[in-house]
């Protein structure tokens, strides 16, 4: 029997981070469950660092 591996890719802005406050409170429980299940989460953003 083969093992199925999972990986999650997610944007930060407006998805895991609140669009206005940049807080991740709403996503925290889900991220913790993914960590406990050993499912990696790859975070992504299009924002650039200030020069």
The predicted pLDDT at position 32 comes to: 95
| Total domains present in the chain | 1
Structure-token pair, residue 51: 């020069």
The predicted pLDDT at position 36 comes to: 95
pTM for this model (two decimals): 0.70
Examine residue 49 and state whether it is found in any structural domain, yes or no.
no
pLDDT band at 49 (very low <50, low <70, confident <90, very high): low
Each residue of 1-46: pLDDT tens digit? 567 689 999 988 888 888 888 888 889 999 999 999 999 999 988 7
Examine residue 2 and state whether it is found in any structural domain, yes or no.
no
Alpha-carbon distance 19 to 5, whole Å? 31
The number of beta carbons lying within 10 Å of the beta carbon of residue 16 is: 19
Check: CB of residue 39 under 8 Å from CB of residue 6: yes
Give the structural domain span for 17: 8-44
Examine residue 33 and state whether it is found in any structural domain, yes or no.
yes
The predicted pLDDT at position 2 comes to: 62
47 has a pLDDT exceeding 80: no
């Amino acid at each position: 029997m083969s093992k199925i591996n999972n990986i999650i890719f997610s944007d930060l802005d407006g998805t895991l981070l609140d669009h206005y406050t940049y807080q991740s409170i709403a996503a925290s429980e889900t991220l913790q469950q993914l960590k406990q299940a050993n499912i990696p989460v790859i975070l992504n953003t299009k924002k650039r660092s200030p020069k």
